[in-house]
Amino acid sequence: MHLSSLTIPLFLGLASSSVVGGNLLTARNATASAAAHAACAILVHQLGTTIVQFNGSTGYYDATQAAWNFNNVNVDPMCVVYPRDATHVQAAMAAIYKTGSKYAVQSGGHSAMKGWNM
């Protein structure tokens, strides 16, 4: 398989969000949060901050808030990984499996079902 210039982000440590009484509530249990934090730390060490994006960066915003389907804008991952080649995907999957982190792959993004493209 030849992968070049991948543009499909991986979301690590997804939290579920909902609006209750006009307030956005985000839930992430401590175990899942620790696993995601560990995976993101491994990946930023291995791949750098260009590939691994955190809240506050343009890449994080583009992946989470500029979704093609606005039913998915409340996604709150610990980090977003933008793999550029197969070695980046391999590193991401190794870190995910090593830490037991939850993850999702952002696909086409046109689905009307919340979370479907995650």
pLDDT in tens, 41-61: 999 999 999 999 998 898 888
Q: What local confidence, expressed as pLDDT, does residue 43 receive?
A: 95
Dihedral in degrees, nearest 10, Cα atoms 107, 109, 111, 112? 140
Quote the pLDDT of residue 76.
79
- Mind listing the pLDDT tens digit for each residue in 95-112? 999 999 888 887 665 555
Average pLDDT of the residues in 20-38:
68
The confidence band for 1, taking pLDDT boundaries of 50, 70 and 90, is very low
Instruction: Collect all residues with Cβ–Cβ distance below 8 Å to 25 and sequence separation of at least 6.
Output: 17, 18, 19
Would the pLDDT of 28 be above 80? no
pLDDT score of 33 more than 70: yes
pLDDT at 14: 62
Could you give the CA distance from residue 97 to residue 95 in angstroms, rounded to a whole number? 6
pLDDT of residue 8: 66
